[in-house]
Structure formats: structure tokens, C-alpha cells
Structure 1
């Protein structure tokens, strides 16, 4: 099992979640569409060649973004990553997968 963490502006919060859920993320036992999210501030500076969704080339930008965490089966990671990239407004969405250790209890 993997944990997906990604950052997204408010305008695309729900649409990215729906896309990754449709691709297989967010299932825990008898529950689906499971996620945890918190609002924070991201920053970036687009450089020459960038086509930023928010901000201007050469200017440091700070923007409110949501950090979203959810669970992804390993065999769905590629599909979920593709769905996230296709639904995310940024050229280079920031995301990561973290390997989780399953514990029997």
C-alpha cells in the first residue's frame, strides 16, 4: 500500500480528488473516497520556459494550496499518477508516493 500526498489550489481540489478516486485511490476497508486535507501556503518561482497557471515567470509566488493525503494500492499507482497529472492545473504538480508498512492487529 502507498500513501499519495499532493498539493493543489482550491480551484482544483475537488476535481483532482474525484479523478484519483476514479483511478483507484482512497479505498480503506469498506470505505471509499477517503482522504485527509489541510490548507497551507506553497511557494514557487517560474523560470524561463515555464507556463505557470498562477504567477509570472521570474517572480516568486506564494499561494494557498491544499495538501491532500490518501491511500493507493501499489498496482493502481501509475493510473492514479496519470489521473492526478491530467486533472491538476499546474505544469509540474508536486506529489509523492510513500511506501506504507502494513501491520496486522
Structure 2
């Protein structure tokens, strides 16, 4: 089965809520490693952004440079094929994340 690493950035106060929702909605495919479930790794950092004139920011205001304490979150997504599970996980991430534009990366993992 294909596996992916989903990496996203979230405000520190929202990380637990986002992960809880992903784990709850996709318990068999998100955050599962062998006999362990709800697995994730996150580190702290700072996000920097300036919302444009048409933006509707959850944090900060249009035109003002904003710096937010964020987590970089990494979670494994196991797919059953055709990339359905990773697409569903990204869709759910976008639905529950507080940001208007969610920053995320997807890496396909290989077995060696």
C-alpha cells in the first residue's frame, strides 16, 4: 500500500484540535504505524505572512505583516490505492484548519 508523509503548519493553539479531527475521521489510515495509532511529530517555529487586500485572515489583518508561533506537524497517511486517503486527509485538514490558506506538503514514502 502506498504511504505518504503529510506535513502541515498550524498555530500552536490549533494543532491538537486538527490532529484529533484527522485521527477521529480516518483512524485506520492517518497516524497509524504498525500497532500504534494517533502518531505524529511536531516542532515549534514561527510563521510569517502578510494577508493581501482580498484575504480574510484568521489571525492578523489585511496588509499587516504577521508573525505567529506555529507547529510543523508530520503525520503518516497509508493509502489503499489511487491516492484516495491522502486526498481525503488533505480535504479534512483544509476543512478543520483555522487558516484561509493551509500550508502543507505531501511526500510519497518508499519501502527499502
TM over 0.5: yes
**Which region of structure 1 is more displaced relative to structure 2, 74-83 or 49-58?**
74-83
1: CA distance, partners of 2:36 / 2:13: 26
The equivalent residue for 2:9 is 7
How many residue pairs get matched?
103
Q: Following TM superposition, where does structure 1 have runs of at least 4 consecutive aligned residues deviating by more than 3 angstroms?
A: none
2: CA distance, partners of 1:21 / 1:102: 23
The equivalent residue for 1:68 is 73
Across the aligned residues of Structure 1 and Structure 2, the Cα RMSD in angstroms comes to 1.0
Kindly provide the CA deviation profile for residues 15-44 of structure 1, in whole angstroms up to 9, marking residues without a partner as x.
100122122310011111000001100111
1: CA distance, partners of 2:42 / 2:13: 14
Runs (5+) with no aligned partner, structure 2: none
Matched, 1:101 2:106: no
The equivalent residue for 2:22 is 20
The equivalent residue for 1:52 is 57
The equivalent residue for 1:90 is 99
2: CA distance, partners of 1:102 / 1:16: 28
Runs (5+) with no aligned partner, structure 1: none
How far 1:64 moved relative to its partner?
0.4
Q: Give TM-score, length-normalised by structure 2.
A: 0.87
